[in-house]
Structure 1
Amino acid sequence: METGQEETPKKETRACRCSKVSNWLQQQQTVSAMSVDEAAAELSRIDKPETPSQIYYFGLLNQQLGTSAGAIRARFAFVSLAKHEDLDRQQRQLIAILEHHNAERISWLESQTELERQRDTAAAQLGEANEQKALLEQKIEALTEVETSISTRKELE
């Protein structure tokens, strides 16, 4: 009988732990379905997240913004959440995945920003080169006209 009694609390604990991460996953699906405007509006209602669930939600909402600043705030939220002692292994694994995801997102967004800067610089250089080409073509045309007019004068002399 004692063995059977010991197994029941373990099952309840497992169910409880699954329930925690399941709730978080459901919350993640809900936030993923939000538009950027909805996530921003929801964020404006949050004062200061303190509990693990509030911090998790705060991180998800910031992640949903799709901006570099949002990814940085989300990553920071997940890093701080990982420090909470009352999380189970599955929650910690989920947090680690989300933290890594946001770190990668930050890197990707930074590389995109750098690529856009390089593109803009190249476009400006191309514009300057085209202007110089047009000026050179005008000078060549002017020189050709001068040569033609000199040739014509020599023929007339």
Structure 2
Amino acid sequence: MIRPVLLASIIGLSACAVGPGIPDPSRADSCRAAFMDYDRELRASPRFFEGVLVVGGMDAPSGAFAAESRILQLGCTVFPNRMPDIAALDLSAFAMPAGGVAAPRKMLHLATVTTNTSEAELVRLARRLGYPVTVRGADRLGRRVFLGPLTTDAAQRQALALARALGFDAAYLLTRVP
């Protein structure tokens, strides 16, 4: 008797789960918040101390380590099996606009990928669409891909739309690359 009830409960709960390829707004919000916390931690704790470079993650501040751990726990990094098939998508509508109303300079955190191949794909795409691109290594996370600087409202909106079209729902604007 317990088994059928347990099975029915599992099936019922799995019906509420978000399937692959379907955006989960709460997960995207959680990932965005985790990356913003990570950025704050990086800005608050310089990697240089009195001219000595701190190498690796062993001397990393505990706040940054905790933020990285949260990002990993939430599954916010993009593994190759979660990369969109960029070659199959027509993304020309998301090219960087030439003009627009000036806005405060911002960067877009597009994604954090775990392989050099994924990084190269995103860099090629960004350049093909006219976006400046910056990549930064993140100790335990992989490679963070940023678009920008974006200096118009239209460019900022278009970059966010590109991120959504690629399925990177946790993308966000920030004032500088950490």
Task: Answer whether TM exceeds 0.5 for this pair.
Answer: no
Task: Indicate the structure with greater helix content.
Answer: 1
Which has the larger Rg?
Answer: 1
TM-score (norm 1): 0.25
Task: Indicate the structure with greater strand content.
Answer: 2
